[in-house]
C-alpha cells in the first residue's frame, strides 16, 4: 500500500522568507531541515502531521492555478481563524460550498499557487 510522503509546490528563486511567512507564520506548519544535497538548492521543507510539504525553487516558475495542496484544519473554528488571518495579511480567501459536509476555501501562496484549506463538519 502506498501513502503520501510529501507534496511539492514550485516557487521562484529567493522564495524562502515569503514561504516561511506564509506556511509557518500564517498557516502554522513546521519547518524541517532539508536533507542531503537538497539543502543547497533553495526552497524550504515543512511538515504537518505525517506529511511533508516541500517548497522547491524553479527558475522557470509558473504558478499552479488548478493543481493544489489541500490542508485540513482540525475544526471549523480553526478554519475560520485561518481565513481571518490570511485576509488580515492581504491574501484573498474564496469560500466554496460545493462539497457536502465540508467547509473549505481557496487562497494562493505568495507566488500565486492555489492552496485549499478545509475541514469536515
Distances, alpha carbon 56 to alpha carbons 13, 53, 83, 112, in Å: 9, 10, 25, 14
Residue whose cell numbers read 509558473: 62
Q: How far apart are CA 62 and CA 69, in angstroms?
A: 16
Residue 41 φ/ψ, nearest 5 degrees = -100, 5
Residue pLDDT, tens place only, 32-83? 999 999 999 999 999 999 999 999 999 999 999 999 999 999 999 999 999 9
All structural domains of the chain, each given as residue ranges with its CATH number in brackets, are 6-120 (3.10.180.10)
Whether the per-residue pLDDT at 19 is higher than 90: the answer is: yes
Instruction: Work out the percent of the chain whose per-residue pLDDT is above 90.
Output: 98
Strands 68-72 and 114-120: parallel
Residue pLDDT, tens place only, 76-121? 999 999 999 999 999 999 999 999 999 999 999 999 999 999 999 8
Q: What is the pTM of this model?
A: 0.94
Amino acid at each position: 500500500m502506498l501513502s503520501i510522503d510529501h507534496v511539492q509546490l514550485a516557487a521562484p528563486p529567493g522564495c524562502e522568507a515569503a514561504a516561511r511567512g506564509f506556511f509557518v507564520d500564517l498557516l502554522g506548519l513546521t519547518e524541517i531541515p532539508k536533507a542531503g544535497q537538497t539543502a543547497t538548492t533553495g526552497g524550504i521543507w515543512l511538515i504537518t502531521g505525517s506529511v511533508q510539504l516541500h517548497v522547491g525553487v524553479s527558475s522557470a516558475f509558473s504558478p499552479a492555478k488548478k493543481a493544489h495542496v489541500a490542508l485540513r484544519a482540525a475544526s471549523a473554528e480553526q478554519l475560520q481563524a485561518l481565513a481571518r488571518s490570511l485576509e488580515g495579511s492581504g491574501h484573498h480567501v474564496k469560500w466554496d460550498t460545493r462539497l457536502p459536509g465540508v467547509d473549505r476555501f481557496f487562497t494562493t501562496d505568495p507566488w500565486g499557487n492555489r492552496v485549499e484549506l478545509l475541514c469536515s463538519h
